């Protein structure tokens, strides 16, 4: 059976991906409130008991009743309470029920008493309420007897073709400090580290280069070529059949003209004035770079007016499949529901390569006990 894991705020299984793909771990149960997300999780992890309900209504009692689990049976709990509420500082956090989700996470940790837990969140959590919120969260978990460790990890440092920084809190019952995973990749823009043996960051072009070029409103189901590199081979491993989700919505002609005019990595400032949108933030209507990792993708990865998500070569935003690739989900991974549902499943996920790196550190840590 190995180490037993419970997955909270599970999404489509990004944070638990590494644990799900290692025989030394068994994910017993997962909780996810959104129906399409829970469906997608179950399609990819049919052996995991899925609780598709509000976290407030989920407890050790469910696990005891259905799986015979009692306090102390679970080794690891993983979860990232949704952070939309944390993103607005001040009074709104108090009024927003989502801001209370970390207290539900705390309640379940208190009930299950795992040996170790992982709490993942946005980097912005550190500056909210002038750092008061993160202090509150840490002292709450410490009050249960957990030794708290905290780092900000960038998924690009672990082989993800995307710059995505996340706060990773690890609570352990043992007093030994938790050792976070060492980076495997480096940012070539900062120079080459000497004798490190690190590989350069994976670029968007390396991640997506074998997917066919399509234009606004088009779709394609066949690869453009054989895998050109290790990353593409990993994404296609064991997958045969037609590519799913490689299609885009039809944008209006003005939008297409703007996207066509953008240079690699360009913004509306780089195009003729008559093509520029009348409004929008500085990072909206922007093209990604072919020879760099993607910027952080969001649930709006298919919407050109959202934060930078326009394909570096084609005049269109990213497709759902391209978003999945940039998060490290293999082409065989299934998403469920409408296009909006699927893009939410992808945009909210923890990249799989970051999950695998964290899992390796957890495994080393527990093996030393």
**Residues with Cβ < 8 Å from 343, sequence gap 6 or more?**
299, 300, 301, 302, 320, 323
Please count the other Cβ atoms lying within 10 Å of the Cβ belonging to residue 261: 16
Contact 310, 285 (CB under 8 A): yes
Contact 27, 20 (CB under 8 A): yes
Residue tagged active-site, from 83, 284, 286, 309: 83
Quick check: is 83 catalytic? Answer: yes
The span from the CA of 10 to the CA of 26, in Å, is 15
Q: What is the 3-state secondary structure (H, E, C) of the chain?
A: CCEEEEEECCCCCCCCHHHHCCCCEEEEEEECCCHHHHHHHHHHCCCCEEECCCHHHCCHHHHHHHHCCCCCCCCEEEECCCCCHHHCCCHHHHHCHHHHHHHHHHHHHHHHCCCEEEEEEEHHHHHHHHHHHHHHHHHHHHCCCCEEEEEEEEHHHHCCCECCEEEEEEEECCCCCCCCCCCCEECHHHCCCCCCCCEECCCHHHHHCCCCCCCCCCECCCCCCCCCCHHHHHHHCCCCCCCCCCECCCCCHHHHHHHHHCCCCCCHHHCCHHHCCCCCCCCECCECCCCCCECCCCCCCCCCCCECCECCCCCCECCHHHHHHHCCCCCCCCCCCCHHHHHHHHHCCCCHHHHHHHHHHHHHHHHCC
The span from the CA of 242 to the CA of 323, in Å, is 17
Q: Which residues form the catalytic set? A: 83
């Amino acid at each position: 059976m190995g180490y037993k894991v419970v997955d909270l705020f599970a999404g489509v299984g990004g944070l638990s991906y590494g644990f799900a793909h290692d025989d030394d771990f068994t994910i017993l149960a997962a909780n996810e409130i959104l129906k399409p997300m829970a469906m997608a999780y179950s399609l990819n992890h049919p052996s995991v008991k899925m609780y598709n309900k509000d976290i407030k209504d989920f407890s050790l009692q469910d696990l005891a009743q259905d799986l015979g689990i009692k306090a102390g049976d679970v080794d690891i709990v993983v979860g990232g309470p949704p952070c939309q509420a944390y993103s607005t500082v001040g009074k709104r956090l108090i009024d927003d029920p989502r801001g209370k989700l970390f207290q539900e996470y705390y309640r379940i940790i208190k009930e299950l008493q795992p040996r170790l837990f992982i709490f993942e969140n946005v980097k912005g959590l550190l500056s909210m309420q002038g750092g008061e919120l993160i202090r509150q969260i840490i002292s709450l978990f410490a009050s249960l007897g957990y030794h708290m460790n905290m780092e900000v990890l960038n998924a690009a440092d672990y082989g993800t073709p995307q710059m995505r920084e996340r706060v990773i809190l690890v609570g352990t019952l043992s007093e030994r400090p938790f050792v976070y995973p060492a980076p495997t990749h480096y940012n070539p823009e900062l120079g080459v580290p000497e004798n490190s043996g690190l590989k350069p960051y994976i670029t968007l072009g390396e991640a997506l280069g074998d997917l066919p070029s399509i234009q606004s409103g088009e779709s394609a189901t066949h690869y453009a070529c054989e895998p050109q590199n290790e990353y593409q081979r990993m994404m296609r491993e064991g997958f045969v059949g037609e590519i799913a989700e490689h299609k885009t919505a039809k944008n209006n002609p003005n939008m297409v003209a703007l996207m066509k005019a953008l240079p690699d990595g360009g913004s509306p400032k780089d195009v003729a004035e008559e093509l520029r949108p009348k409004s929008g933030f500085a990072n909206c209507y922007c093209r990604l770079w072919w020879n760099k990792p993607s910027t952080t993708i969001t649930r709006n990865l298919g919407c050109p007016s959202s934060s930078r998500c326009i394909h570096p070569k084609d005049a269109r935003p990213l497709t759902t499949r391209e978003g999945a690739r940039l998060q490290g989900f293999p082409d065989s991974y299934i998403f469920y529901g409408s296009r909006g549902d699927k893009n939410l499943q992808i945009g909210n996920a923890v990249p799989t390569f970051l999950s695998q790196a964290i899992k390796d550190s957890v495994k080393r840590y527990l093996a030393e006990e």
